[in-house]
Amino acid sequence: GAVVSQHPSWVICKSGTSVKIECRSLDFQATTMFWYRQFPKQSLMLMATSNEGSKATYEQGVEKDKFLINHASLTLSTLTVTSAHPEDSSFYICSARLGTSGALGEQFFGPGTRLTVL
Amino acid sequence: GDSVTQMEGPVTLSEEAFLTINCTYTATGYPSLFWYVQYPGEGLQLLLKATKADDKGSNKGFEATYRKETTSFHLEKGSVQVSDSAVYFCALSVLTGGFKTIFGAGTRLFVKA
Q: Which residues of A touch B34 (CB under 8 A)?
A: 106
Listed range (A39-48, A98-107, B78-87, B89-98) with the worst mean pLDDT: A98-107
At residue B19, the pLDDT reads: 97
Residues in chain B predicted with pLDDT less than 50, given as ranges, are none
DSSP for A71-92?
Answer: EEETTEEEEEE-S--GGG-EEE
Enumerate helices (H) and strands (E) in chain A, giving the number of each. Answer: 0, 11
Of the residues A51, A106, A113, the best mutation for testing chain B's interface (the one with the most B CB atoms within 10 Å of its CB) is: A106
Residue A34, chain B, CB below 8 Å: the answer is yes
Half-sphere exposure of A84 (CA within 13 A, CB side): 21
- Over pLDDT 90: what percentage of chain A? 63
Residue A21 above 90 pLDDT?
yes
Q: Let me know how long chain A is.
A: 118
Return the higher-pLDDT residue of A88 and A39.
Answer: A88
pLDDT digits 0-9 by tens, A75-87:
999 999 999 999 9
Contacts of B87 (CB under 8 A, 6+ apart): B9, B37, B38, B106, B107, B108, B109
